[in-house]
Amino acid sequence: MFLASWQGIAIPALLLGLGFLWMSLVPQAPSPDDPVYGLWVARARLRFGPLFDPLDRLGLWSLAGTPGWRLLWAALGWSFLVHALEAARARRLLTALSFALLVLAIGVGGLGRYLPPPSSLTLAPGEGGRVGDFRLAMEENGLSLWRQGDLIGRTTFHEGLPFLLGPYGGIARRQHAVLELEATGPSGPLSLRAALDAPLTPRLLLYPSLEGEAFAAIPEARWILRIQEGRRLTVFEEGTGTVVWQEELPQLADGQTMERSLPGGYVLRLTPRLVYRFTLFPTPVFLQRLLSVGMAILGLGIGGVAGLRAAMARSPRAV
């Protein structure tokens, strides 16, 4: 019987491993309800060109939601179950317990299909965004969660490690760095604008467009700033397009500030800021995921102990 053989474990596990490798190398599509979905599609089409549509038809942009992906997990779970029953009949209790925990880990993980989906936000220090009825804000030393002006809670976070905040559990992944712009003039700090209809702000994060360009306006100086590929700075006069300043920016470390004095007594300050993508789960979903991962780790650990004991038991006979 195929499921009772080690190939019944090895083949689904290998294919799932290749799937995880694909998802780690190729950006997976966010939910169509996510505000960044349209931007993701535009970036993916620009990056992959004519390959985008064939890969989309194969479901490789949302691999974890495809029937084939669920079928592989089901095959692996059934194989674990068959091995658990065989180990129990042979009175190899640690091995049976190991396989049983792995079966439960897959089953509990599969419940995620019937639970609310997670929410995702991309934030830099000083930014905030909506999560359901709440507002999540990234501060210099962590995160804070607000509802209608009331503070719900604060927490620190570390990349790749889970955290709890109010009714959510989450995880943070580091993204690219984004330049933060500040400007001063002869009369003091200046207000900046990201677009013609955008509000004025004392500091601005320069998120690049699909073409790798970021723009900002300094209304008081009547200047437009353009940064290409995060390195080339050009300052134009608004209306005429006359180049006021142009240079290649040096490589800056995260948090390192560079100042540039421009004609007319104006000073620009540019600071790279880390950007994180936060994935937030309602508490039941978060606990379900932690339980699934915890049982998988425990099952693998017990299986390793069982294998080591079996190897040690055989070794005297081999001498």
Inside any domain, residue 15: yes
The neighbouring-strand residues paired with 206 are: 179
Domain that holds residue 258: 178-274
Q: In terms of domains, do 143 and 92 share one?
A: no
Contact 272, 256 (CB under 8 A): yes
Inside any domain, residue 29: yes
Please count the helices (runs of H) and the strands (runs of E) in the chain.
6, 15
The predicted model gives 49-76 an average pLDDT of 90
The residue among 175, 192, 222 that closes a domain is: 175
CB < 8 Å & 24+ apart, contacts of 36-43: 36/120, 36/122, 39/210, 42/210, 43/210
Q: In terms of domains, do 188 and 235 share one?
A: yes
Inside any domain, residue 280: no
Q: In terms of domains, do 197 and 293 share one?
A: no
**Number of independent structural domains in the chain:** 3
- The string of pLDDT tens digits covering residues 135-183 is 999 987 799 999 998 999 999 999 989 999 999 999 999 887 888 999 9
Q: In terms of domains, do 9 and 95 share one?
A: yes
Q: If pLDDT is split at 50, 70 and 90, which confidence band does 99 have?
A: very high
pLDDT of 36 strictly over 70: no
Inside any domain, residue 8: yes
DSSP line for 146-202:
EETTEEEEEE---TTSEEEETTEEEEEEEEEEEEEEEEEETTEE--BBSSTTSPPBS
Q: What is the pLDDT of residue 25?
A: 85
